[in-house]
Each structure stands twice: as structure tokens, then as C-alpha cells.
Chain A
Amino acid sequence: MNDSDQVRGRDNGAALILAIGFVLLIGAITAGLASLVTSGIYNRINLEQVRDRQYAAEGAIELAIASARSVLDSASGCTVDTDASTSTQLNDNDIRVDWTNACRVVRSADGLVLIQRNLVFTACVDLARRCAEADTIVRAQVNFQQGSTGAVTKTYIQSWSVTG
């Protein structure tokens, strides 16, 4: 066996090893692409679910404001108990809205005593318990303007924060 035979013997199978290496490289690239596509689809679905939940929470608060309005239509003073909760299904999400009475009596610059009939609405996914801070999706403070007859004439959104 001369030197040329030895070199040829060592080269045997080199092309196959290179091909296998190539297969592994292409396999890794393909796996990376598949992972990229999968995570993109997952992110899109997740984004859509968050959007639907957020709009469901906002819608549930709008419905709760209308319910509270009918309660406040015949109320006078700040002592009326308006703490309550409603449950609504929108966009395939069960949303709970808790209302809290935030009524205040203030004195205007000309000495008049005015009632600020405000309610705070907190919306979260319905877990059959009061909305916890960490679960809150939307929180809103709404002022209910009353006319001389006591009926609510208009509502004003004083604050509206989307937290989740």
C-alpha cells in the first residue's frame, strides 16, 4: 500500500458525511422557520383574544352604566346603596363588572352644596368573586347628571383606564 492508496482510503465516505452535515444544517433551518411561523400564529391568536377581552370588558361597563342609570333615576342624596355587580357575555368572554358608589358632596364657589353622583366600575373576567386588582381589565369612573326631577339626564366618563 503506497501513500496514494492511504489518502484514497481516508477519503472514502467523505461526501456522504458532508451530505449528512448538509441535511442536518437544512433541517435546523427548516425547524427554525417552522418555529417562527408557529410563534407568529400563536402571537396573532393571543393578540386577538386580548383585543376581544378588552372590548368585551368595555362593552360590559357600558351595559353596567345603563343599569346603574336606571337605579339612580329615582335616587336622591349620596346615601343610596349602588354597590352591585353584573355579569355579561361578549366576544365569548364572561365579564363581571363591580360598581362602587363614589358619591361626594362638594360646595361650589358660590356656596351651593352640590352632589357629585359618581360610580366606579371595575371589569374583569368573571371568576365568581369580586374583581381583584390584578384581574382588572378596565376601570372607569362615571358621573351621573341628574335633572330637577331626579332623573339622570346625562352620563359623563370621568376616567377610563385599560389595565389588562
Chain B
Amino acid sequence: MREHRDRGETLIEIILTVVITTITVTALVSSLATAGTAGQAQRSSVTADGVMRNYAEAVKAAGRTCTSGGVYAVRFTPPAGFTVSSVPLTLRCPPPASPLVLTLAVEGPSSFDQTMQIVVRTP
């Protein structure tokens, strides 16, 4: 009589265990996938940050060669998949008394685009 009751309990336990295990494994796989996606996004963002810094330094370095009334040339090639731009889009050296405030933008393969302001001054 007892053995008969035990059989039923064991089956319910096993079914419950399988359900719980399935749910937790699904949660684990889902969280691993999310962590992977977040890691990739973070890497893209950090790369975009590096591109932004390098671009800003290239623009500032070009600005240091400015002479009043002259033009400056920015030597910078962004890595593959990234594009850079600046507003206003000018390569004319600003007058010594009126430095130029530039808004730099970096667009990358992900949606983590970045913008930053820098100042270019004629020495």
C-alpha cells in the first residue's frame, strides 16, 4: 500500500524538478546571452571613446600648427566601421582672439554614438 503511494510522489517530484530545472536553465542561458550582448555593446562604446579621444587629439594637434588666417589639416583615419565629423565643418584657423568651439561626433557600428566639444585656438 505504501509502495503504491510512493510511486506517485516520485513522479510528481520528478516532473516538478524537471520544470524548475528547465526554468532556471532558461534563465541562465538568457542572462548569459544578455551579458554577452552587453559586453559587445560595452566594447563598441569603449572603442568609440578611444576613437573620440584620438580624433580630438588629432584636431587639437592640427590646431596648434595654425597661423592667423591660415588653414589646418587634420590627419586622422578612423578604424573600420567608424566615421568622424565636426561641427562647424571648417579647417580655417580661427582669429587668435576668437577660439573655435568644435563639436566632434563619432559614429560607430553600434548605436553608442558619441559627441564632445573641444576648443581650437590659434597660438
User: Using a CB–CB distance below 8 Å, which chain A residues touch chain B?
Assistant: 5, 8, 12-13, 15-16, 18-20, 22-23, 26-27, 29-30, 33-34, 36-37, 40-41, 44, 47-48, 51-52, 55-56, 58-60, 62-63, 65-66, 69-70, 90-91, 152, 154-157
Query: How far, in angstroms, from A161 to B97 measured CA to CA in the complex?
Result: 23
- A59 near B114 (CB under 8 angstroms)? no
Taking the nearest CB of chain A, how far is it from the CB of B96, in angstroms?
Answer: 6
**Binary interface encoding of chain B residues 1-41 relative to chain A, with 1 for a CB under 8 A from any of its CBs, else 0:** 01100100110011011001100110110011011001100
Is the CB–CB distance between B31 and A33 below 8 Å?
yes
List 15 A-B residue pairs with CB atoms under 8 Å apart, sorted by A's residue number.
A15-B17, A16-B17, A19-B20, A30-B27, A30-B31, A34-B31, A40-B39, A41-B42, A44-B46, A55-B56, A60-B119, A62-B120, A63-B121, A66-B97, A66-B98
Contact count A vs B, C-beta below 8 Å: 102
Given contacts A23-B24, A157-B123, list 9 more A-B pairs with CB under 8 A. A15-B17, A19-B17, A36-B35, A58-B118, A59-B117, A62-B99, A66-B97, A90-B117, A152-B96
- 4 closest residue pairs by CB, A with B: A59-B119, A62-B119, A26-B24, A19-B17
Name B76-122 residues within 8 Å CB distance of A.
96-99, 101, 114, 116-121
Label chain B's interface by main secondary structure.
helix
Q: Please give, as numbers and ranges, the residues of chain A lying within 8 Å of B13 by CB-CB distance.
A: 13, 15-16
With A and B bound together, what is the CA distance between A40 and B34 in angstroms?
A: 13
B residues at A contact (CB < 8 Å): 2-3, 6, 9-10, 13-14, 16-17, 20-21, 24-25, 27-28, 31-32, 34-35, 38-39, 42, 45-46, 49, 52-53, 56, 60, 96-99, 101, 114, 116-121, 123
The chain A residue sitting closest to B25, CB to CB, is: A26
Please state if A51 and B119 are interface contacts (CB–CB under 8 Å): no
Residues of B close to A19: CB separation below 8 A: 16-17, 20-21
Q: A15 to B96, Cβ gap below 8 A?
A: no
Which residues from B are CB-within-8-Å of A63?
A: 99, 119, 121
Q: How far is the CA of A90 from the CA of B103 in the complex (A)?
A: 10
Does the CB pair A69–B28 fall under 8 Å? no
The docked-state distance in angstroms from the alpha carbon of A5 to that of B4 is 12
Residues in B neighbouring A60, C-beta threshold 8 A: 119
* With A29-B28, A37-B35 as contacts: A59 and B118 at CB distance below 8 Å: yes
CB-defined contacts of A44 to chain B, threshold 8 Å: 42, 45-46, 49
